[in-house]
Structure 1
Amino acid sequence: MSKENFIKGAAILGVAGLLVKILGAIYRIPLTNLIGTEGIGYYQPAYNIYNLLLVVSLSGFPTAIAKLVSEKRALKNFEGAYQVYKVSRWGLFLIGLISSLLVLIFAKNLVSLIGFPGAYYSMLALVPALFAVPLLSAYRGFFQGSQNMAPIALSQIIEQVFRVSVGLYLAYALVGRGLEEAAAGATFGASAGGVAALILIYLMFLFTKKSIKEEIKLSSHNRTEPVKNIVKSLLYIAIPITIGASIAPLMGIMDSYIVSNRLTAIGYTNVQIADMFGELSGTAQTLINFPQVFSTAVAMSLVPAITDAFTKKQNVKLNVTANAGVKMSLIIGLPCGIGLFMLAEPVIALLYSSLGPEKHASSGALLEILAIGVIFLTLVQAFTAILQSINKQFHPVKNLIAGLIVKVILSYILIGMPSINIKGAAISTTISYFVVALLNWYDINNTSIKIKLIQVSSRSLLSVAIMAAATGVSFRFFKSVLHSQNLATLGSITIAVIVYVICLFATGAITKADLELIPKGEKLARFVRK
């Protein structure tokens, strides 16, 4: 594959991924305004179980399929590549069939087990998605291994468009019947999206099937192997990736379980618990997802650059690139974290106007806590990318498990305190991100890479301090002049962005070399210089 084609494929997936993440993050805002925090409290627990069940088919297997297909195609063994796809498709079909049937039969038991019986209809609404998405992953893995990224990108966009449009429509149509039904309508969007994407990618596969058969016919290097060998190879690649990817959804399920049980223990009713959990997951947590759109992009761009330097044993370049990547992550994470901390309640009021002042205050308090966690989360993403790039992929998994243990212990203790209650979940999340970031940093510094945190963060911290002062002053000024909190919030956010960007260049936090690390960075550097 030529460099130009590789860049083109990466760009297609990058743009699609950005659109999908933005759509997913924005989706929660109108949904929460429509069904409220109680409705989100029925929606999110079912989604947490769904995400865990899909980890196998969404993380490990597509990567494993892509790797094996790519390897066999590189050897001109096109029949072997097609065999990998066929074995994987049947395996993922069985996974989808079993998981969807189990949820269909035991949905009530599952949601009762985690303490949210009101999420029953939402759990049922996800059954079609549990069947369709694993099959979808088989096609995506094959196309990725064949270096054809367009079908993957299109299926991702279609999946999210259907999820958002169908989910919002059904939530609106069913909200009159009750919040549990409306939440189920919203979750059914995932099923509609999965089925629509599967149909699309299957049709695209049919269009390419002729060329696949032609490749097989013309190659003299075709060779098949026993199915058990292919299964072993798939599992060898998929299992460690799946273990790592399962930590986040597992953390979500543990959150649901502990929140329900500990709040029940201190006297809250099921409706109150669903309402409070909805505030945590539907308002505060949703806003934390926005910065991840950009910090994830930085982490993804780090992998090939660091892998290249590591493979060539270029230690100086390796250290420079790793430190630059961490610095860019902090340049994103610091202002997002501090900005959300300072304007937590006003931002909640701006985006979720229908919730009312009382909910704005309580959700704002949760957002203040989680906003600090944004800084540690961006570091976790950067450090994880570095460790994976230097063949230390099990270190982040080990550290995530440690973070999960810390979160469970702290959540159990803090949520059970009446004066802290649901805020204990936010506090434990922030501390667990800090622990994982610290452990990852320690593991990196035990390699040939040395991350100099003070050096890479000092100028960004200075820029953020100036931005914070400008944010506080401008918010009070706009509020007194405009007599509107929402307008004051928008005005102070605008001032904060302008001041922060100016400070980044004025303090030298961003240099020409940093800009050249990102796509089209040379043009951006020339623009900044002008």
Structure 2
Amino acid sequence: MQESDMGEIKREAGKETSWLRGAMVLGVSALFSKVLGTIQKIPLQNVAGDRVFGIYNAVYPFYQLLLFLATSGIPVAVSLLVAQRMEADDQEGMRRVLRTGMLLLGLTGAASFVLMWTGAELAADWIGDRDTAAAIRMAALALWFVPVTGALRGYFQGQQQMVPSAVSQIAEQTFRVAAMLVLLMVGMSAGWPQSHVAAGAMAGSAAGGAAGLLVMLVFWRRSDKLGRTKADPCGGKGPAQHSDRRLLRNMAKLALPVALGSVAVPIVGLVDAVTVPRLLRPGSAAEADVMTLFGLYSRGQPLVQLVVMVAGAAAAALVPALAVARARGDMASLSQRTELALRFAWWIGAAAAVGLVLLAESINVMLYADNEQTLTFMLIGCTATAGTLNAVTAALLQGHGAVRLPVAILLFAALLKVALNAALVPAHGIVGAAYAGIAAFSAAALLGVAATCRAAGVRLPARRYAACSGLALACMAAALMLAERGTAALLGPLSLPPRAAATVLALTGAAVGAAVFAAALLRCGGISARELRALPGGAALAARLRRWRLLPADE
């Protein structure tokens, strides 16, 4: 082999390693941002109370929907078009794609801001609480910053530079949470009305958006200077030159399917925001009471969302591998990985649901300082199983090339939730809304699992895994109840404050329950040593589990 060929192979290998490292950095930063964005709801309730918490959870889906409509798809289109120009060494073309993307996102962001700002009163009427209008307007401010940031992120990702986007995401979420907490503290100490406190919490989104944009502008300024120094003497015009109108058409064509698919997620959240407060409203109840109830209804959601996010992020990592296996026609590998992912989704979701139900009172007191509406908390916790399966099957279906099907399933779940809310909430209140969520998301999960099995040609050996899962969950439940009673007996003489005692009970129970569930699942053959070895780092894990006698002896 010639030296030039060897050099080309090394350069390609270096590019692949750099891309994988960058993708990992971006994935970790995205997961960190999502986790931080979910967890920040807990101090919001602790500082401001259930009514402000309810207003925040009612308003946020409106902002999320308009944000997704304004931004989803265009950054992906920018990334793809920049990558094409980069292959042609067209530096000026890359900059033109960025300018067009920023213009398009700037216009859609401004239009979304105007729609959200001027329609705040109308949206507040839909929610059923006039005090939400101020929070809606404050959320709209972020639409000046976040869309343009998306164009810059797409520009760098098209060049396979993931670090700028990762740093920007972390900065955006960190400043968002910090600004929210500062404004909460200021508002509470100054005696602001609760509607203004909620508006201050939503204003954190604008502060975070501004910080994320500033970080991206710093990276872009450095990159642009470097790119111009490398431009050719003719002004940097590469071979692929297109009119701005054609570029806009190409960008819109690439962005539209992604944008339409992305709105399914906020629509599901919007259903509760629009229907539950209005359906809760009895003739004599004040608006404050309704939003307080909606805040109580929302208590269990951050933990369920956290479980779903982690499972969804893990499943998303399988999508490239599934796509490659499908392209190669490796159906055996495709089916094996799909089946294993489905099993892990069921195990994670079921264990989380059982833990949230059995530890509901302790967790409620630990996070929110009282045990109000613990039954609702338990019912919301039950949706962890369906939510995890929905997140994982959506990622798996994308890996199998079925991009639109997960969107259709989510929209079906949203419509079913509307109908069930209308039937159950007037008679049963927020408990009825929780029951509606269990039914709607379970139906969607069943459809997702069936579609995934059909796409991958998987036939789950249900009897074996159902018996194994049932045994492991029963062992977990027994261990959890014993641990809770034992810990409570030990804490009795210490006379700890209720919240401290609840924290010890919840954390101890979660640790014991997770350990017992994993041990029982492994011991009864839920996953084999061969399947473990197929995972990254699985060989060493399988050997260690055998030494601990957690894998069956005949494996």
TM-score of the aligned structures, taking structure 2 as reference length: 0.88
Match of 2:294 among 274, 277, 280: 277
Distance 1:526 1:211, change over 3 A: farther
Give 1:308's aligned residue: 324
Shift of 1:13: 1.1
**Quick check: 1:172 aligned with 2:185?**
yes
> How many Å separate the matches in 2 of 1:500 and 1:174?
44
Distance 1:369 1:466, change over 3 A: same
Distance 1:224 1:31, change over 3 A: same
Does the CA-based 8 Å contact 1:310-1:390 persist in structure 2?
Answer: yes
Give 1:318's aligned residue: 334
Distance 1:151 1:506, change over 3 A: same
Give 1:210's aligned residue: 225
> How many Å separate the matches in 2 of 1:118 and 1:206?
42
Does the CA-based 8 Å contact 2:71-2:105 persist in structure 1?
Answer: no
Give 2:203's aligned residue: 188
> How many Å separate the matches in 2 of 1:449 and 1:276?
45
Shift of 1:201: 0.6
> How many Å separate the matches in 1 of 2:323 and 2:465?
21
Give 1:264's aligned residue: 281
**How many aligned positions are there?**
521
- Give CA-to-partner distance per residue, 1:91-119, whole Å, 9 cap, x none: 00111112112323332232223212111
Give 1:347's aligned residue: 363
Does the CA-based 8 Å contact 2:38-2:306 persist in structure 1?
Answer: yes
Does the CA-based 8 Å contact 1:19-1:157 persist in structure 2?
Answer: yes
Give 2:444's aligned residue: 436
- Give CA-to-partner distance per residue, 1:19-43, whole Å, 9 cap, x none: 2122122211111111111111222
Give 1:463's aligned residue: 472
- What residue identity is the alignment partner of 2:319? V
Moved more, 225-234 or 9-18: 225-234
**Structure 1 unaligned spans of 5+:** none
- Give CA-to-partner distance per residue, 1:371-413, whole Å, 9 cap, x none: 2211111111121112111221111111112111111100111
Match of 1:72 among 78, 85, 91: 85
Matches within 5 A, 1:497-508: 497-508=514-525
**Quick check: 1:243 aligned with 2:260?**
yes
> How many Å separate the matches in 2 of 1:384 and 1:107?
33
The RMSD of aligned alpha carbons is 2.2
Moved more, 295-304 or 71-80: 71-80
- SS of the counterpart of 1:509? coil
Matches within 5 A, 1:220-239: 222-239=239-256
**Structure 2 unaligned spans of 5+:** 1-11, 493-500, 548-555
Matches within 5 A, 1:93-492: 93-175=106-188, 176-214=191-229, 216-217=231-232, 222-265=239-282, 267-281=284-298, 283-353=299-369, 356=370, 360-362=371-373, 364-417=374-427, 420-452=428-460, 454=462, 458-483=467-492, 484-492=501-509
- SS of the counterpart of 2:160? coil
Shift of 1:458: 4.8
- What residue identity is the alignment partner of 1:264? R
Does the CA-based 8 Å contact 1:376-1:434 persist in structure 2?
Answer: yes
Distance 1:521 1:211, change over 3 A: farther
TM-score of the aligned structures, taking structure 1 as reference length: 0.92
Percent identity over paired residues: 28
- Give CA-to-partner distance per residue, 1:239-261, whole Å, 9 cap, x none: 22222221221222221221122
Give 2:495's aligned residue: none
- What residue identity is the alignment partner of 1:475? E
> How many Å separate the matches in 1 of 2:432 and 2:356?
19
Q: Which structure is larger by alpha-carbon Rg, 1 or 2? A: 2
> How many Å separate the matches in 1 of 2:71 and 2:522?
40
- What residue identity is the alignment partner of 2:185? Y
Moved more, 183-192 or 265-274: 265-274
Matches within 5 A, 1:31-70: 31-70=44-83
> How many Å separate the matches in 1 of 2:324 and 2:132?
47
Does the CA-based 8 Å contact 1:41-1:278 persist in structure 2?
Answer: yes
Moved more, 268-277 or 193-202: 268-277
- Give CA-to-partner distance per residue, 1:439-498, whole Å, 9 cap, x none: 222323433432516255653443222111111122122223322444333322221122
> How many Å separate the matches in 1 of 2:77 and 2:31?
23
Distance 1:526 1:498, change over 3 A: same
Distance 1:125 1:515, change over 3 A: farther
Shift of 1:181: 1.6
- SS of the counterpart of 2:119? helix
Does the CA-based 8 Å contact 2:341-2:392 persist in structure 1?
Answer: yes
Distance 1:137 1:517, change over 3 A: farther
- Give CA-to-partner distance per residue, 1:182-221, whole Å, 9 cap, x none: 1111111111000011011111110111233355538885
Does the CA-based 8 Å contact 1:13-1:149 persist in structure 2?
Answer: yes
Does the CA-based 8 Å contact 2:146-2:213 persist in structure 1?
Answer: yes
Moved more, 81-90 or 486-495: 486-495
Moved more, 12-21 or 508-517: 508-517
Shift of 1:299: 1.5
- What residue identity is the alignment partner of 2:480? T
- Give CA-to-partner distance per residue, 1:40-97, whole Å, 9 cap, x none: 1222222111000001344322222222222332344443333222211100011111
